[in-house]
Amino acid sequence: MNSLGNVFSFISKDVVCKIQILENFLSGENGSHYVTIQSMVKYELENDLVDLTKRCSHPESGCRTLLRLHRALRWLELFLERLRTSSEDSKTSVMCSDAYNESLAHHHPWLIRKAVGVAFCALPGRNTFFDVMNAGDHTQVVALLGESLPLISEVYQITEDLYAKNNLLELP
Ligand SMILES: CCCCCCCC/C=C\CCCCCCCC(=O)N[C@@H](COP(=O)(O)O)[C@H](O)/C=C/CCCCCCCCCCCCC
């Protein structure tokens, strides 16, 4: 994302920050509970470490932090599927914002949605995008996306089911 330009830095900073929160749990004194998503959910719920209705004593639990990344993974899946099936003249900004409106936008306030909309306008074209991915020629990139998307989808579904089962999909 950083190679796409400065306008994306507020997005990548948020992602890096959230990954760091999870890495800190994993390397902390209770790290053994953070080895899998399943064990993290069980540990945090059993020990009342998750703010379920309002952010108060545990504003950055593993469960709520992962939920934000999980929602972003859905955006990524929708976007990459559009990219994979796009034609030469398709616009990345349209693919990106359609995927965003179908996923993450439901969870973001007005101000963030506007800022993200501005960032989308600065996205490079489809060919530059494929080059930035640095995964070979465009046919190879499309093939790679075809291989990765089912895996992204599987990971997304496993987390979605686990969170749904534990009523964690709307954590504040
Ligand atoms: C070249 C290969 C394909 C694309 C590569 C990009 C891969 C990047 C993967 C994911 C990027 C999106 C990550 C967005 C995480 C957003 C998490 C989030 O929702 N955070 C908000 C809520 O957090 P809390 O306040 O509750 O802690 C936060 O408020 C928002 C921050 C910034 C806005 C994020 C908007 C994301 C829009 C979609 C990403 C567009 C990226 C375009 C680059 C192709």
Each domain of the chain, given as residue ranges in start order, spans 9-165
The model carries a pTM of 0.94
CATH (one of 1.10.3520.10, 3.40.50.2300, 1.10.8.350, 3.30.465.10) for 9-165: 1.10.3520.10
Confidence of residue 146 (pLDDT cuts 50, 70, 90): very high
32 CA to centre of ligand 1 in angstroms: 28
Ligand 1 neighbour 121 (Cβ under 6 A): no
For the chain, state the CA radius of gyration. Answer: 18
138 CA to centre of ligand 1 in angstroms: 25
Distance, in Å, from the CA atom of 21 to the CA atom of 69, rounded to the nearest integer, reads 12
Compute the average pLDDT of residues 68-82: 97
Ligand 1 neighbour 1 (Cβ under 6 A): yes
Confidence of residue 131 (pLDDT cuts 50, 70, 90): confident
Contact 91, 128 (CB under 8 A): no
Mutate to test the pocket of ligand 1, among 3, 15, 118, 128 (most ligand atoms within 8 A of CB): 15
Q: Give the pLDDT of residue 76.
A: 96
Q: Give the pLDDT of residue 166.
A: 98
Confidence of residue 83 (pLDDT cuts 50, 70, 90): very high
Ligand 1 neighbour 14 (Cβ under 6 A): yes
Compute the average pLDDT of residues 81-96: 94
5 has pLDDT over 80: no
